[in-house]
């Protein structure tokens, strides 16, 4: 238990989501174990007593997430409502507790996977594993970040931004790291054996996490080798892909796709359309934010933009498309392959970036990094305009 809690504390700190020594974690097995002594464990134990959970994570997020969450919480009494794809699907909303008490916290946790307590931090839980709590905490930070920057840009464009909000954005802006333009090269093609392909997938998956181009476990990666698409499994952590990659024959002659990424169909269609070999899908923050910025405020599709947007939009030469996960009438497999056919990648509304590499992941990674850097610069260009 101790090693498991150390692992997730390290992941939180490495991702810049929490300060070292800040996360408080508890796991219920034969007995309830905590990663450290803390004055808040008594209250958190009441959550274990009243809910059917096996793990809990409580931490104040690292800046700028903590300030952003507190700022958003002040504007709402009940909950924050993110509009990015994964939050709509996975979190729905971010409930707010008025104070740090069991009577304020537990009712909200019964209906959601987390609760925000302004001035204290975020509580997330897992019903079967601590990983679930880690994923939720990471997703809260991502969703809050996207929500804040999306809302503040919208207010600025409509002339509704206050002096307080403008000053707050300036402070947050100064705390952001500058875009990274270069990266150490990944393994180069050609790959001669399956083991080389698996190693390349694991290497690229870890790189995309290290560079902050994906939040929690969301995102997927694939490589086509000898008429087989090797793709990350659904729910797998991209920085821990060993044993979590499924070989899916292009002719559909295997049922391996059952556990493959939910976006397998999109990867398959990209391979068939482009003849490319490497595909990356991540959730770079400013790419997601830019994709949700639209000046058609009275559009009849408002609220359904992620499903079927009638507008043709681009970020420089990168198309922004709509689409849902899966193979339905609005599936990503119908919009993304055509979008990436003549571009260096595609941004999906409120969702993330797909990029490709003809032979290996170097080209795909460079393209995704460039798209996110362009999105970062474009965001502040629009805000400063």
Distance CA 53, CA 43 (A): 15
% of the chain exceeding 70 in pLDDT: 97
DSSP three-state, residue 34: strand
pLDDT at 164 over 70: yes
- Say if 2-151 and 194-384 have the same CATH topology: yes
> What's residue 76's pLDDT?
83
Helix 163-175 × helix 130-157 angle, to 10°:
130
pLDDT in tens, 174-229: 999 988 888 899 999 999 999 999 999 999 999 999 999 997 667 899 999 999 99
Supply the pLDDT for residue 304. 67
C-alpha distances in angstroms, 175 versus 64, 72, 269, 301?
A: 7, 18, 40, 35
Tell me the C-alpha distance between 147 and 337, whole Å.
28
pLDDT at 216: 66
pLDDT at residue 298 greater than cutoff 80: no
The pLDDT tens digits of the residues spanning 61-92 come to: 999 999 999 999 998 879 999 988 888 878 88
The band of 262, judged by pLDDT with boundaries at 50, 70 and 90, is: confident
In the DSSP assignment, the letter for residue 316 is: T
- 138's enclosing H/E stretch is helix 130-157
Q: Provide the CATH topology of domain 2-151.
A: L-fuculose-1-phosphate Aldolase (3.40.225)
Amino acid 310: pLDDT:
72
pLDDT at 302: 67
Question: Is the CATH number 3.40.225.10 carried by domain 194-384?
Answer: yes
β 318-321/345-348 pair status: parallel
Give the pLDDT confidence of 239-252 residue by residue, as tens digits: 999 999 999 999 88
Task: Name the pLDDT band for 238 (thresholds 50, 70, 90).
Answer: very high
Does the pLDDT of residue 329 top 90, yes or no?
no
pLDDT band at 34 (very low <50, low <70, confident <90, very high): very high
Tell me how far apart the alpha carbons of residues 48 and 29 are, in angstroms, rounded to a whole number.
Answer: 11
Give dist(CA 33, CA 325) in Å, integer. Answer: 38
Contact criterion met (CB below 8 Å) for 366 and 344: no
Give the pLDDT band of residue 256 (cuts 50, 70, 90): low
Q: What is the pTM of this model?
A: 0.95
Mean pLDDT of 4-28: 96
| 269 vs 326, higher pLDDT | 269
Range of lowest pLDDT (114-123, 135-144, 307-316, 375-384): 307-316
Averaged pLDDT of the chain: 92
309 has pLDDT over 80: no
Average pLDDT over residues 261-278: 92
pLDDT higher than threshold 70 for residue 319: yes
Residue 6 confidence (pLDDT) = 96
Q: Is the pLDDT of residue 232 over 90?
A: yes
d(CA 90, CA 5): 23
135-166 core/surface letters (b: 16 or more CB in 10 A; e: else): bbbbbbbbbbbbbbbbbbbbebeeeebeeebe
Q: What is the pLDDT of residue 311?
A: 77
Domain-wise residue ranges, the chain: 2-151, 194-384
């Amino acid at each position: 238990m101790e090693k498991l809690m150390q692992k997730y504390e390290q992941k939180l700190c490495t991702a810049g989501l929490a300060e070292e020594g800040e996360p408080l974690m508890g796991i219920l097995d034969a007995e309830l174990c905590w990663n450290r002594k803390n004055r808040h464990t008594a209250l958190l134990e009441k959550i274990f007593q009243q809910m059917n959970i096996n793990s809990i994570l409580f931490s104040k997020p690292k800046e700028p997430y903590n300030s952003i969450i507190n700022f958003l919480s002040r504007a709402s009494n009940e909950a924050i409502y993110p509009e990015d794809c994964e939050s709509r699907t996975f979190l729905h909303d971010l409930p707010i507790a008025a104070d740090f008490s069991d009577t304020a916290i537990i009712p909200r946790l019964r209906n959601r996977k987390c609760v925000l307590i302004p001035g204290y931090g975020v509580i997330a839980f897992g019903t079967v594993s601590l990983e679930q709590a880690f994923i939720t905490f990471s997703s809260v930070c991502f969703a809050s970040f996207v929500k804040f920057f999306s809302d503040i840009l919208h207010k600025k464009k409509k002339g509704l931004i206050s002096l307080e909000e403008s000053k707050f954005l300036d402070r947050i802006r100064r705390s952001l790291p500058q875009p990274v333009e270069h990266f150490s090269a990944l393994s180069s093609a050609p790959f001669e054996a399956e083991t080389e392909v698996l190693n390349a997938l694991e290497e690229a998956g870890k790189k995309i996490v290290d560079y902050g181009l994906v939040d929690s476990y969301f995102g997927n990666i694939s490589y086509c080798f000898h008429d087989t698409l090797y793709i990350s499994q659904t729910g797998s952590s991209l920085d821990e892909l060993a044993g979590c990659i499924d070989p899916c024959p292009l002719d559909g002659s295997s049922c391996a796709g059952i556990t493959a990424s939910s976006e397998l169909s999109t990867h398959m269609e990209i391979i068939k359309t482009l003849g490319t070999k490497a595909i990356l899908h991540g959730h770079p923050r400013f790419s997601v934010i830019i994709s949700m910025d639209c000046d058609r405020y009275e559009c009849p599709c408002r609220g359904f933009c992620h499903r079927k947007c009638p507008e043709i939009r681009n970020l420089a030469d990168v198309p922004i498309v709509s689409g849902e996960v899966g193979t339905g009438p609005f599936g990503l497999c119908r919009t993304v392959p055509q979008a990436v056919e003549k571009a260096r990648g595609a941004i999906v509304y409120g969702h993330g970036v797909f990029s490709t590499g003809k032979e290996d992941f170097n080209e795909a990674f460079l393209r995704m990094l460039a798209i996110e850097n362009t999105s970062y610069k474009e965001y502040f260009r629009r805000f400063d305009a």
